[in-house]
Structure 1
Amino acid sequence: MKAAPEAQRRLLDLQAVDTALAQLAHRRRSLPELAEIEAVARDISALEDERVRAQVAVDDLDRDIARFEKDIEQVRTRKSRDQARLDAGGALREIEGLQHELATLNRRQSELEDSELELMEQKETAEATLNDVRKRLAEAVERRTAAETRRDETLAEIAKEEEFKTTSRGPLAADLPADLVTLYDKIRTDSGLGAALFRSGRCGGCRIELYGADLARVKSAPADEVVRCEECRRIMVRTAESGL
């Protein structure tokens, strides 16, 4: 393929733009915030599971405490009724029976209240655990929000740079021979780099140094000949820096 030396040289400008675009794309895919958001999302999921378990523990204790309250209230009601009957007087046997039942009810109430107190202490511990999980969950959500904000700001910056580079690429590519650009784009699509400067006997694409007949081929090629590396097949652009 033939192309004017100046057109070949401008391929390097086009490659510089494409390299910058590729770097921006890589930067977008490898933002540290993406990994951070993913890690925090896992933390949030685990903390949410932990929060649910802690909430269930508190709810279970609330239910058990409510049941004890109901039982205690039933005992108190029965004690009040028996005390009223006792105060009203009656046969000795009935009075003795009421006194015995009141003593039994007092013991039952004491046992129930002790059990309820134990549950209330457990609930206090469970609520402290729940509050701690909620705090850690809120902190994790804040970390995720902050990371998402940084991500969005960086992505907006990248998009702005990409727009600028893409806008400048159009006129640059349009000003070059179509067949040269087609060849360049094909090579770039296959290898990521379509053209590179040939300098000091070395291909700027694969960095391999040429010797003997390979070097002589490059040196003897007409200035308008599009020379490609035998190893990486990229276009080797010759300029005054090439040292030929």
Structure 2
Amino acid sequence: MAALPESSSQQPAPLSLPVLGGRPSSYRERVADALRAALIAGELRPGEVYSAPALATRFGVSATPVREAMLDLAKEGLVHAVPNKGFRVTEVSDRQLDEYTHVRALIEIPTVVALATTADPVSLEALRPAAREIVTAAVAGDLIAYVEADTRFHLGLLALAGNTHLVEVVRGLRGRARLYGLTALAASGRLLSSAEEHLELLDALLARDERAVHEVMTRHLGHVRHLWASAPD
């Protein structure tokens, strides 16, 4: 979904609000999460300016929660305010993407490998619906739904390690990433194979196979940087 000038006669696709894991949430929180997913998926393009009223129309809510959500994202460095116009999406360099992925690998790979021996099988199985949602979104080519389900899966998995600060660090790193290549992967059908890695990872964890878990996680994070995050043309 490329960014379009507001004067364009072509209407951008609507954005849907996620349901946030059963916890109480405001429109502001839900809009902020949906905006993060749109940013990560590259649906909101770097350097483009988006107004709160225009985004509100796409969410089907009033401009106030959208404006508040964008201010939250500005505090996170994902966008910055442009006086009298809206918010410009922060551009991310290749070096920054490499650094984010490197830090994620340092945190996530050993943490998830350790879960092969410590995680409760019932808790692991509880993540399977999210893993299946990722596959369903990949088949449908729904990039926002893909990112939302992917975020729930990975943060839910990390939460099993019992370190809430670690989860928040990874949440922040994920929010700063940009997966520009998702559109091309979805169009080519290759996104499905990446989506299925989540089910492969669960199966390896349930089998208590640390070597397989390490291999899948390493491959998966490699996709995040080198395949999914290919710069747009």
- Between Structure 1 and Structure 2, the one with more helix by share is 1
Fold-level match, TM-score > 0.5?
A: no
- The answer to which structure, 1 or 2, has the higher relative contact order (CA under 8 A, 6+ apart) is 1
TM-score when scaled to structure 2? Answer: 0.19
Structure of higher CA gyration radius = 1
